[in-house]
Amino acid sequence: MSEKLNIVMAQLNLLVGDIDGNTERIISAAKRAEAEFAADVVVFPELALTGYPPEDLLLRPSLKPRVEKALRRILEQRIDPILVIGFPKSTGEAVYNSLLLARQGEIVAEYWKQCLPNYQVFDERRYFAAGDRACTLNLKGTRIAFTICEDLWEAEPARQAKDAGAQMLVNINASPFHTAKLEERQALVCRRSMEGGFPVVYVNLLGGQDELVFDGGSMAASEGQLACQVPQFVEGLFSLEVQVDTGGACRITPQQFSASLSLEAQVYETLVLGLRDYVTKNRFSGVVLGLSGGIDSALSLAIAVDALGAARVEAVMMPFAYTSQLSLDCAERQTRTLGVEYQVIAINEIYASFLDALEQEFQGLSVDITEQNIQARARGVLLMAISNKKGLLVLTTGNKSEIAVGYSTLYGDMAGGFDVLKDVSKTLVYKLARYRNAQQADCEAIPLEVIERPPSAELAPGQLDQDSLPDYHTLDAILELYVEQDLSFESIVEKGFLEADVKRVLRLVDLNEYKRRQGPIGVRLTQRGFGRDRRYPITNGWSLGE
């Protein structure tokens, strides 16, 4: 006769370093899972106690006593279901990325992560020692094994679990979003299920942490097929029913499936979640941004409103002599549509005062890009002043294409605390703008004229972006090959691009590393975003070539 095993996947949004707060959230979720779902097992994400990634907080002397206090608090609740909780385990000089299994106030088993990722945004070998053995538990006649995140990406821990007699595998995760990551996880979970001959349950973290966004999307596979997929970007407790047959063999019949999201939808939700959590978890009252009448600031404004609500967003138009009437009209119309506070502060007199002060320094020198940068820096001063006075976070609005080649002004339009479009190419900006408008047929969140007009910084008469850059389709294609795939100059040219375009773009990327180091952080979307992913020296003698 078969048994039913009820596993609750606790897809929670936790705060790095808030051990007390995370502990209370774990306790609350566990009690809910027991009361509402009659849970046998409640599974929490990787390092749930500290949040992920805790980085150098793991080196703090008070880490161990804080974690031990939190675990005592959880055990005191004497909760009946098996709790699977990720935490850092300190033993002597070593710290392990660990999970424990607790039931009715007792720790019944522990597991130490074996495979420590040390690539892209991960540097776990800096902090953790590696475990070397499987962890299994008998429950309702079946043997369940437990692993942590990267352990599933390597084959050995799953084989080890199978050799230990496991009939089901539970894997806890803090897996950040990048484009196509959900599909990669689904394929992996199905493959491990097929190889092991057992169901695999995969529970992921949710929420924004600096530039990383954890998108949830917890799931389960049985007999090599996806059997459950819970929503991305949604916090909650999700119940999973497992059938346990005679002898302990497990199977999961297809159950909860969330609708698949398009690329644009996944990216947009990632940006919204990343911005919301950065603002809220850092306790800003809201955001302020410069609205130019261009597509980047228009999209940034729409994302900000969706993340925080119109009442927490302020937009400021700062026109100059080269600002077109179309820019003024579009900016005003968008702010009325979205219902945000809107101010117009002209910079003509501010700009003139800078030139007056610099008259002697500039005597005998011709007008050049310096004067354009002064316009951008005047706007940066105004936004930072509003930020200081009102406690608002300044959003910068540069996209990845511009940031890559330095088409931005240090201490000007780069001045701010967060850039929501930092890893969004210009071509993707247009797709996201059209996607956002399509979500509300009766509300044009981003004016159509903004989407259709030629892009321009409007820092000089008749200026267009394409006067100084290749067209964005060409630029973005070259950038993807160089920045995200690390191809050489020759390899990119061989793909059919003009040698002059490639040389110019790659040179600009290399030259502007110093700017990017001083810019704000922003949401990571690709596997090689500027920031934690891509680390090149500013001072170097490397030349273009193989």
What percent helix, strand, coil does the chain show, rounded to 5?
40, 20, 40
Beta strands 236-244 and 418-419, pairing class: unpaired
- Catalytic one of 89, 113, 422, 515: 113
Report the interhelical angle of 472-479 vs 499-511 (nearest 10°): 60
What is 401-429 written as a DSSP string? HHHHHT-S-TTTTT-SSEETTTT--HHHH
What SS3 state is found at 337? helix
By the 8 A CB rule, do 524 and 178 touch?
A: yes
Residue 354 identity (one-letter amino acid): F
Answer positive or negative: Cα dihedral of 420, 423, 429, 434: negative
Going 461 to 467 to 471 to 476, the CA torsion angle's sign is negative
Candidate list 115, 124, 135, 149, residue with the active-site label: 149
332 is catalytic: no
CB 220 within 8 A of CB 201: yes
* Phi, psi (deg, nearest 5) at residue 377: -75, -30
Report CA 141 to chain centroid distance, whole Å. Answer: 40
Among candidate residues 229, 221, 173, the one with its CA nearest the CA of residue 201: 221
Q: Distances in Å between the alpha carbon of 428 and those of 249, 423, 438, 447?
A: 47, 10, 15, 17
Beta strands in 249-295 (DSSP E): 250-251, 286-290
Angle at 480 between CA 497 and CA 458, to 5 degrees: 85
Distance between CA atoms of residues 461 and 321, nearest Å = 9
Length of the chain: 546
Neighbours of 543 (CB within 10 A): 7
- d(CA 377, CA 413) in angstroms, rounded, equals 7
Tell me whether strands 212-215 and 168-172 are parallel, antiparallel or unpaired. unpaired
Catalytic residue chosen out of the listed positions 46, 150, 269, 458:
46
Hey, what are 204's tokens? 């992921």
What Cα–Cα distance (Å) separates residue 134 from each residue in 36, 41, 151, 236? 31, 19, 11, 29
Q: How far apart are CA 429 and CA 366, in angstroms?
A: 36
H or E element at residue 9 = strand 3-11
Residues 6+ apart with CB under 8 A from 404: 479, 483, 508, 509, 512, 530
Helices (H), 358-471: 359-362, 369-390, 400-405, 426-438, 448-452
149 is catalytic: yes
Which positions are annotated as active-site residues? Answer: 46, 113, 149
